[in-house]
Structure 1
């Protein structure tokens, strides 16, 4: 069992007004950017629940976009993030939905770029700046981004998860939590692994070299976050 750190208890250093509606939103945006892996040229942002009702007044839209620009929760540029993003060539679309969601502070981000497939990320701001990612590209997953996270998209075949974890173990990487979802038997699958430390590039390349691996994403918000 992992113990909560100071970040979990008192929240992050942040630009206000709300840890849930601003800091958490910024961290969801950063998580989506890390998963996508590069600057997204088109982003559709869909707010649900209380996010849908208050996102503009609480600056959740600015925070999400700041995260997409890879800004931290305490970056003073959050206030100008939309204009900065648009100047950099990011096309933004903000929408709301009345569709029920598992958590009131939920947002879906659809990210696109030239020559790349779309990534969709669903996340919720669950309080104190903490977040929970619940879906990626229609895979149902659950992780917090409180730890370095490795996302491995692959075919669902016997032994592939064991192959992935064996490589991590051989490199001394400790797995704190793992979640796996698949779209069908012997079809596409996603394995999400939270680790105690960032996974060395050499191990990632070994995993990438396995049969039936489609894509690997490194999603780490711990590299330069300022904690309260």
Structure 2
């Protein structure tokens, strides 16, 4: 069941015109910004399906960039996001893709600076709800509507249990968890949605566990 209340069906408080093409797009952009953890110097946005056909008319372009600038769905600055990004010196490029995807409202966001880059694929499933389905080549399923931590780690025995034990010790309840790996015994990505925002000291404790490479959080 994708919708938990009537408010999910109506959609979020937002700058219009469309909950899927505008609010959902803004949320995907904001998750990308949260995972990158800083303002990028350049952004490449590839649009697929319905997004590619209608992104200018429905404001999908300004919404995604607004999210990347860390604006919420109701922030009126979204309307000027392209100009604001230009003023900040962020190079933004849009690409209309012809490839057929599993979902019509699909976007691939690449962003970076001199210190690194990030690649994310998200879909807007309606009512402002989203799913992040790929991150830096790892397959995942992240709603972006709950606090979450993403743990990059070596695919070694006991690593998942050690992270779970830290969360249990601090009485953090796991709502959804999955692990993705590109190759057995190599790097893997642990995606954990939880019921409450996680404090930085807990993230530090997880980051110091054996086989952990990086820990990133998404706040609610």
Flag whether TM exceeds 0.5 (same fold): yes
Q: State the superposition RMSD in angstroms.
A: 1.4
Report the equivalent of 1:138. Answer: 137
Tell me how far apart the structure 1 counterparts of residues 2 and 93 of structure 2 sit (CA, whole Å): 38
Tell me how far apart the structure 1 counterparts of residues 91 and 184 of structure 2 sit (CA, whole Å): 37
Cα deviation for residue 98 of structure 1 reads 1.1
TM-score (ref. length: structure 2): 0.96
Report the equivalent of 2:39. Answer: 39
Q: Is the 2:106–2:122 Cα contact (8 Å) retained in structure 1?
A: yes
Runs of 5+ consecutive residues of structure 2 not aligned to the other structure: none
Q: Is the 2:30–2:67 Cα contact (8 Å) retained in structure 1?
A: yes
Q: Is the 2:3–2:9 Cα contact (8 Å) retained in structure 1?
A: no
Tell me how far apart the structure 2 counterparts of residues 201 and 7 of structure 1 sit (CA, whole Å): 31
TM-score (ref. length: structure 1): 0.93
Tell me how far apart the structure 2 counterparts of residues 40 and 24 of structure 1 sit (CA, whole Å): 21
Deviations 1:149-182 (A, max 9, x none): 1001111001101110110010000000011100
Runs of 5+ consecutive residues of structure 1 not aligned to the other structure: 223-228
How many equivalent residue pairs?
A: 220
Cα deviation for residue 199 of structure 1 reads 1.1
Give the 3-state SS of the residue equivalent to 2:179 in structure 1: strand
Cα deviation for residue 141 of structure 1 reads 0.3
Kindly indicate whether structure 1 or structure 2 has the higher relative contact order, using CA contacts under 8 Å at least 6 residues apart.
Answer: 1
Runs of 4+ in structure 1 over 3 Å off: none
Tell me how far apart the structure 1 counterparts of residues 3 and 104 of structure 2 sit (CA, whole Å): 25
Cα deviation for residue 4 of structure 1 reads 1.8
Cα deviation for residue 203 of structure 1 reads 1.2
